A and B are shown apart, each in its own frame.
Chain A
Amino acid sequence: MKFTLSWLKRHLDTEAGLDEITARLPMIGLEVESVQDRGAALRAFVVAEVVEAKPHPNADKLRVCTVDTGRERLQVVCGAPNARAGMKGVFAPVGSVIPAGGITLKAAAIRGVDSAGMLLSEREMGLSDEHTGIVELPADAVVGSPAAAALGLADPLIDLAITPNRGDCLGVRGVARDLAAAGLGILLPLDASPLPGNFPSPIGVRLDFTTEAASACPYFAGRLIRGVRNAESPEWLKRLLLAADLRPISALVDITNFLTLDLCRPLHAFDADKLRGHIQVRFARDGERLAALNGREYALSPSMTVVGDDAGPQALGGVIGGEPTACTETTTAVFLESALFDPVRTAETGRALSIASDARYRFERGIDPTSVTWGLEVATRLIMELCGGEPSEVVVAGALPAGGAPIGFRPDRVRTLAAVEASAEECARTLDALGFGGTFEGETWQVKTPPWRNDIIGEACLVEEVARLLGYHRIPTVSLPRDAGLPTPALTPPQRRRARTRRLLAARGMIEAVTYSFMAARAAEPFGGGGALLRLVNPISADLDVMRPSPLPNLIQAAGRNADRGQRDAALFEIGPQYAGDRPEDQAVVAAAIRTGRNGPRHWAEPARPVDAFDAKADALAVLEALGLRIEKVVVATDAPAWYHPGRSGILKLGPQPLAHFGEIHPRVLRTLDVAGPVVACEIFLDALPVKEAAGTARPALVLPALQPVERDFAFVVDRAVAAETVVRAARAAERALITEVRVFDVFEGGAVGEGRKSIAIGVTLQPTERTLTDADIEAVSARIVAQVAKATGGTLRG
């Protein structure tokens, strides 16, 4: 919402200057996007007349000018080809700063001729890139007056970001009203009194809607003005429109645009001679088209409101007018439309056709319904003033929609809700200045909302109005009282688990990444994702079109990108959501971690090795252990999902429940993701872990055996398919009371062991508790271990 200071002052009588106004605007809820005091940098420059321009004695391209600055006559050397006697230009005196380049001008001799100042081009003033000559001001520019004013730049430009609730401030008058209510001046009266018509309008209006659809256009007023001259708009109007980034077209069009911006009253001006028959406001019919004012043609659909005549649609209600009935410089009779269009329908039409117009922007936020009639009067006055002509009587169709019921307002709520101490007088004065009516008496006031404030729906809205205009600086700072002495923990147990996992993985040397929740379907599919329900309807790009089935593809691709930049050997993790479906229960938080390349950089003492599935298993087990799972009960199943290497991956389970996947990523998946291996990964299902929260904080009592533990080693030859874990569990089960640890310390295949067989060596720790073990005791336990392992695996003790 752009306007100039002088434009604002057409509505606001105020002593306040630019700084005060722009400082106050944001403090009453009207955010200032920018303030451009376009004339500030030009303040030292004045209008000057070139009295004489003679050739330079020592340079062909220079001229020696005598310049009248209003105060004195000075000699100025000028290189511009258009410098000539009689022209008026912008003069920069010695000591002034040239905006382009920031140089302070000094008196100088140019090729031996003294020069006391400069005549400026637009580029030198920082106004444009124009530098073919010096600026030529109109002949009526007053010599010695400020150049900024002569250039039309003395008027500072204010740009506001208006929140969606404040449609009323999409007109300059609405901004002026707010400022006045904030005590920054007086809102000037607007003359919108009815102008009598001299003749009945030859063009009638019919609203052609069913009762149910009457809200599409409930109220319409029109009037014909004949005998107009549609010329160029006067300078003041053109300048205001230009300041608002609108191109002046012709007086009639400019007036309708001006009222849109000035009073938030969009209007349309038809060339009355181009209309056939009467105006009908109705829904568009299938197949109808409109050649719009923006030069484009639109196919209309039956949900769109059109303003038409006997020939068909001539405008899209509240959105844009049509080219065939537009006013041109030859227009002599104009039919003015001032109507009310449904905000939702207007928005839908505009969106469906991708038309963003000033009218649509205002109608979809809701405009003052009473402006249908008063807006027409203001426009008529302006047309008669600028274009002459004779107005018809006003034709009206439909009726002004009923206003809302008064709102009960307890002034004390300003204190109890907004914490602003406001007297009843302050409340009344503020509401009155904003245009609210009703009775401001008693404990509960009955407040009537002005028709331009469709955002006010309840008491809280009125509290906000009073509080914002009195100022939020009046809200005290009160620390939130505590319910109890000390707070209870903020995190739930699952949240605490995630927090622990995050810091544990980082402590293991992994780097946390946060990646998008969506990814390319191509990357998601190998991980079981890419289902139709998880495909975004409107993805931002084809690479981000499905919700991820796992964070792994993102991490793997991130590792690939890092490798491309020379950052190989990544250890990355992410703790975040994955999506199995579109229901809330389908979303689960998972800890996904990958390691790629080698386990570290080359080193003189410790050679790096490629990462392998056991790195991923270690990561997963470390997390499970840190989260309090009894990992000695965790078993490894080999049926990991298809994105893993079938022979180098597993699922960690507790009973039937999967806790984590781990292993090498399948080379085919890496090929799809275009990432070089090896990549190992684990996925820990944090939300699904069967973690029992400890009943108390006390640890079990520590029992330290007094007797020395005994170690015995065994090597078994088993079938290659036998899992080491089976051997370990069997050995452990041989004598539960005595065996405290079984550790695999050697595995090898082939050679003497034989084809399809392998040797697994275990170290067993026996911890006696009552008496020292005799050789016979140890022999007996050893025999049981050998027997148990043989029974469980068919393995034999290696000789």
Chain B
Amino acid sequence: MQDVDAVRGELLARVEAADLDGLERLRVAELGKKGRITALMKDLAGLDPDARRLRGAALNALKEEVANALERRRTALADAAIDARLDGERVDLSLPVRPERPGRIHPISQTIDEVVAIFGEMGFAFAEGPDIEDDWTNFGALNIPPEHPARQEMDTFYLPGERDGRRLVLRTHTSPVQVRTMLNQQPPIRIIAPGRTYRSDYDATHSPMFHQVEGLVIDRDLHMGHLKGCLSDFLRAYFAAEDLPVRFRPSYFPFTEPSAEVDIGCAREGGTLRIGPGRDWLEILGCGMVNPVVLQNCGIDPSQWQGFAFGMGLERIGMLKYGIPDLRTFFESDLRWLRHYGFAALDQPSLVTGL
């Protein structure tokens, strides 16, 4: 059996010395069909059974050992080759990534989505109306006759045309959507109507276009307590402040009776405004019980139905929540402003995930 040991010693030495190509040649020459070990195997036939068994086992062990050595060597060489290649593939990982341009949602859209998310939970539907209204729908139906001081104070934009003999205006508030809703639908009604509104005014706190959200709820037994509850629930959810103080103050709107202004608690400390319990109050919206005159104008029997309406400035509540200092900047489309105050596409407001 010395020849087997000699072959083993020789082959293992050659395996260790071979490169990848040499390994393949070695495998064919030694382990292949015409290889040396195969030939030695063939010679077994001439031996007696005991010798054949012993030598056969030795040759099999040799064959396996060489095959393993070949495989080990092959793996080692391949790993070394990969290591060598990777070593040459180093890149400067401090380099910046390929540019991506994050999009942004405008704060007004985000605010509208938040408002809709909250009132949607309370069962309100999203109603709409045109921006170009006739003056009856914008004023008359809402109990604001032509010479009413409230109409004069609104700085209305006019268009040259007429509709059914009525003058055309850019709606000065979202309240005409109330009128359209009531004319088209019998109660119960529960709608909000966010949208564009227009007044001929431009200064630090006024823009000729701005956004309001109108709310209208008509049912049989609604009273001002429900109005207070509905708006308190909304304001506390919107400002994410369960302890937000909400205060009603008497006021006047031609289309509601009784009417109220709503204040929320705030604290003014060191030049900043914090919404929540505090020593000060901040006027936030106007509301009231729908004036029976308006119900009648819109074909709803005030002896059967009553309800409430409210309206608030969307820029205002957005500015308060997100600390945006200037109303006019909303419409300037300054990319720096939009990137700073805008919202990511995935920030879809929901009461479930939190506002």
Q: Specify which chain B residues have a CB less than 8 angstroms from the CB of A515 in the assembled complex.
A: 331, 333
Q: Is the CB of A582 within 8 A of B168?
A: yes
Q: Which A571-588 residues have a C-beta within 8 angstroms of B?
A: 571-572, 575-577, 579, 582-584, 586-587
CA distance A502 to B130 in the complex (A): 20
**Beyond the given A487-B123, A511-B338, could you list 15 further A-B residue pairs with CB under 8 A, ordered by the A residue number?**
A29-B250, A29-B252, A164-B150, A344-B146, A348-B147, A464-B259, A477-B229, A480-B233, A495-B128, A514-B106, A514-B330, A518-B208, A536-B157, A561-B334, A562-B333
CB distance from A503 to the nearest CB of B (A): 5
Selected interface stretch from B53-61, B66-74, B77-85, B195-203: B195-203
List the interface of chain A (C-beta within 8 A of B): 26-29, 31, 163-166, 343-344, 347-348, 351, 364-365, 415-420, 457-461, 463-464, 467-468, 472-473, 475-484, 487-492, 495, 499, 502-518, 532-540, 544, 547, 554-555, 558, 561-562, 565, 567, 570-572, 575-577, 579, 582-584, 586-587, 600-601, 603-606
Partner of A460, one of B103, B128, B228, B289: B289
Q: Is the CB of B99 within 8 A of A606?
A: yes
Q: Is the CB of A512 within 8 A of B104?
A: yes
Q: Is the CB of B161 within 8 A of A512?
A: no
State whether the Cβ of B40 lies closer than 8 Å to any Cβ in chain A.
no
Q: Is the CB of B232 within 8 A of A587?
A: no
State whether the Cβ of B140 lies closer than 8 Å to any Cβ in chain A.
no
Partner of A490, one of B120, B201, B259: B120
Q: Specify which chain B residues have a CB less than 8 angstroms from the CB of A479 in the assembled complex.
A: 226, 229-230, 233
State whether the Cβ of B249 lies closer than 8 Å to any Cβ in chain A.
yes
Chain A residue nearest to B151 (CB atoms) is A164
CB distance from A582 to the nearest CB of B (A): 5
Q: Is the CB of B105 within 8 A of A512?
A: yes
Chain B facing A: main interface SS = mixed
CB distance from B128 to the nearest CB of A (A): 8
CB distance from B127 to the nearest CB of A (A): 9
For A344, A419, A575, the residue with the greatest tally of chain B CB atoms inside 10 Å of its CB is A419
Q: Specify which chain B residues have a CB less than 8 angstroms from the CB of A605 in the assembled complex.
A: 95, 98
CA distance A509 to B261 in the complex (A): 41
Q: Is the CB of B250 within 8 A of A472?
A: yes
Q: Is the CB of A603 within 8 A of B98?
A: yes
Q: Specify which chain B residues have a CB less than 8 angstroms from the CB of A510 in the assembled complex.
A: 101, 103
State whether the Cβ of B119 lies closer than 8 Å to any Cβ in chain A.
yes
Q: Specify which chain A residues have a CB less than 8 angstroms from the CB of B198 in the assembled complex.
A: 517
Q: Specify which chain B residues have a CB less than 8 angstroms from the CB of A512 in the assembled complex.
A: 103-106, 109, 338, 342
Q: Is the CB of B258 within 8 A of A418?
A: yes
On whether A506 and B249 interact (CB within 8 A), knowing A419-B225, A487-B123, A582-B161, the answer reads no
Q: Specify which chain A residues have a CB less than 8 angstroms from the CB of B108 in the assembled complex.
A: 514
Of all A-B residue pairs in the complex, the 8 with the closest CB atoms, nearest first, are A29-B250, A506-B103, A464-B258, A490-B120, A558-B333, A419-B225, A163-B252, A468-B250
Partner of B249, one of A464, A472, A571, A575: A472
On whether A475 and B224 interact (CB within 8 A), knowing A511-B338, A512-B104, A600-B101, the answer reads yes
For A364, A487, A605, the residue with the greatest tally of chain B CB atoms inside 10 Å of its CB is A487
15 chain-A/chain-B pairs, Cβ below 8 angstroms: A416-B223, A417-B289, A473-B248, A487-B122, A487-B124, A490-B119, A507-B346, A511-B335, A511-B342, A514-B333, A517-B131, A547-B159, A562-B334, A582-B168, A584-B129
CB distance from A795 to the nearest CB of B (A): 37
Q: Specify which chain A residues have a CB less than 8 angstroms from the CB of B292 in the assembled complex.
A: 458-460
Q: Is the CB of A540 within 8 A of B208?
A: yes
Q: Is the CB of A478 within 8 A of B226?
A: yes
Q: Is the CB of B159 within 8 A of A163?
A: no
CB distance from B303 to the nearest CB of A (A): 11
Q: Which B156-170 residues have a C-beta within 8 angstroms of A?
A: 157-161, 163, 168, 170
On whether A480 and B122 interact (CB within 8 A), knowing A510-B103, A517-B209, A577-B131, the answer reads yes
Q: Is the CB of B230 within 8 A of A480?
A: yes
On whether A511 and B104 interact (CB within 8 A), knowing A483-B123, A517-B131, A562-B333, the answer reads yes
CA distance A228 to B105 in the complex (A): 73
CB distance from A365 to the nearest CB of B (A): 6
State whether the Cβ of B175 lies closer than 8 Å to any Cβ in chain A.
no
CA distance A517 to B208 in the complex (A): 10
Q: Specify which chain B residues have a CB less than 8 angstroms from the CB of A558 in the assembled complex.
A: 332-333
Q: Is the CB of A582 within 8 A of B132?
A: yes
CB distance from A10 to the nearest CB of B (A): 25
State whether the Cβ of B75 lies closer than 8 Å to any Cβ in chain A.
no
Chain A residue nearest to B330 (CB atoms) is A514
Chain B residue nearest to A165 (CB atoms) is B252
CA distance A537 to B169 in the complex (A): 9
On whether A561 and B99 interact (CB within 8 A), knowing A535-B160, A582-B159, the answer reads no
Partner of B257, one of A351, A464, A478, A495: A464
Q: Digit string of B120-158 for contact with A (CB within 8 Å is 1, else 0)?
A: 111111101111100000000000001111101100011
Q: Is the CB of A503 within 8 A of B252?
A: no
Q: Specify which chain A residues have a CB less than 8 angstroms from the CB of B157 in the assembled complex.
A: 536-540
Chain B residue nearest to A595 (CB atoms) is B101
CA distance A503 to B209 in the complex (A): 23
Q: Is the CB of B121 within 8 A of A533?
A: no
Chain A residue nearest to B133 (CB atoms) is A584
State whether the Cβ of B336 lies closer than 8 Å to any Cβ in chain A.
yes
State whether the Cβ of B100 lies closer than 8 Å to any Cβ in chain A.
yes
Q: Is the CB of A587 within 8 A of B131?
A: yes
On whether A477 and B123 interact (CB within 8 A), knowing A516-B209, A582-B168, the answer reads no
State whether the Cβ of B339 lies closer than 8 Å to any Cβ in chain A.
yes
Q: Is the CB of B200 within 8 A of A540?
A: yes
Q: Is the CB of A601 within 8 A of B106?
A: no
State whether the Cβ of B293 lies closer than 8 Å to any Cβ in chain A.
yes
CB distance from A494 to the nearest CB of B (A): 9
Q: Is the CB of A26 within 8 A of B96?
A: no
CA distance A536 to B334 in the complex (A): 26
State whether the Cβ of B188 lies closer than 8 Å to any Cβ in chain A.
yes
Q: Is the CB of A606 within 8 A of B98?
A: yes
Q: Specify which chain A residues have a CB less than 8 angstroms from the CB of B223 in the assembled complex.
A: 415-419, 478
CA distance A176 to B100 in the complex (A): 66
CA distance A584 to B159 in the complex (A): 13
CA distance A478 to B229 in the complex (A): 4
CA distance A672 to B132 in the complex (A): 28
Q: Is the CB of B250 within 8 A of A464?
A: yes
CA distance A229 to B40 in the complex (A): 151
Q: Is the CB of B336 within 8 A of A567?
A: yes
On whether A365 and B160 interact (CB within 8 A), knowing A483-B188, A544-B208, A555-B333, the answer reads no
Q: Is the CB of A509 within 8 A of B102?
A: yes
Partner of A487, one of B121, B201, B221: B121
CA distance A310 to B234 in the complex (A): 65
Q: Digit string of B221-253 for contact with A (CB within 8 Å is 1, else 0)?
A: 101111011101100000000000011111110
CA distance A778 to B216 in the complex (A): 67
Q: Specify which chain B residues have a CB less than 8 angstroms from the CB of A417 in the assembled complex.
A: 223-224, 258, 289, 306
CA distance A512 to B198 in the complex (A): 21
CB distance from A350 to the nearest CB of B (A): 10
CB distance from B310 to the nearest CB of A (A): 12
CA distance A570 to B196 in the complex (A): 25
CB distance from A221 to the nearest CB of B (A): 25
Q: Is the CB of A467 within 8 A of B131?
A: no
Partner of A477, one of B103, B190, B225: B225
